Structure 1
Amino acid sequence: MRYLLVAILTLHIAALPLAAQDEDPPSMMEQGMRQFFEGLLLEMEPAFDSMRGFMEEMGPALTDLMGQIDDWSVYETPEILENGDIIIRRKPESELPEENLPQIDL
């Protein structure tokens, strides 16, 4: 998400001189800024590609997970174990507000 924000901001700033083009050539400062942001975009491109690959691979699984869990507030913060496993524990019922307690139909 942070990379996307940086890219949008970079493109916006890089486009400013284009939108305000007069008959004067760009100043040295404008040329330097344009080169700086073009370089930044080139440096960030591999991160964008890896993020895109991650979302293409994990997107369907995350969507399925979101559909299986009704209320995220009944779970603790995820915990990463030394072996890399991620555990998401359910909060004890004493900590849950009454509206989040499971209803048992008899």
Structure 2
Amino acid sequence: MKTLKACVLSVGLCLSAAGASAEEESGRSLMAEGMELFFKGLQDEIAPTLDGFTAMMEEIGPGLQGFLEEMGPKLGAVFSKVEDWSSYHAPEMLPNGDIIMRKKTPEEMGQPQEDEATGGIEL
């Protein structure tokens, strides 16, 4: 997020510098002034959100990095085996701390149910 903040600031500075050179030549153009005001307003609006996000990432970043280092390869293996995530319910945590993902039933998926006796699809 610091990168985004730096990009916004650098664009604003570039526009400010471009506006200054145009101002020296023939007065400040309305387009340059409008762009400068736009980016200043954008920076003012984004700054509190970026500050909050930066503080949050500083707080949870080390734990998240450790989680990804340990669980990343295992999660990657799971992700490669699942073809359609919409056929699963959202993960849920059990009282003992286990996290499970239940597969949806054919009724929940809106698909025809297979007839167990004949092995075909019930119409």
TM-score band by shorter chain is 0.5 to 0.7
What is the letter of the counterpart of residue 78 of structure 2?
Y
What is the letter of the counterpart of residue 69 of structure 1?
M
Alignment identity in percent?
A: 32
Distance 2:69 2:34 in 1: 48
What is the letter of the counterpart of residue 33 of structure 1?
M
Correspondence 1:1-106 to 2 at 5 A = 4-5=3-4, 8=7, 10-14=8-12, 15-19=14-18, 21-22=21-22, 23-24=24-25, 25-71=27-73, 72-76=75-79, 79=90, 81=92, 87=99
Change (3 A) 1:12 1:68: same
CA RMSD, Structure 1 to Structure 2 (Å): 3.3
Structure exhibiting the larger radius of gyration computed from Cα positions:
2
Q: Which runs of 4+ in 1 moved over 6 A?
A: none
Query: 1:22-78 deviations in whole A, cap 9, x for unaligned?
Result: 52232111011101110110001111011101111100101110221251322246x
Distance 1:32 1:88 in 2: 53
Structure 1 gap segments, 5+ residues each: 82-86, 90-106
Distance 1:18 1:88 in 2: 56
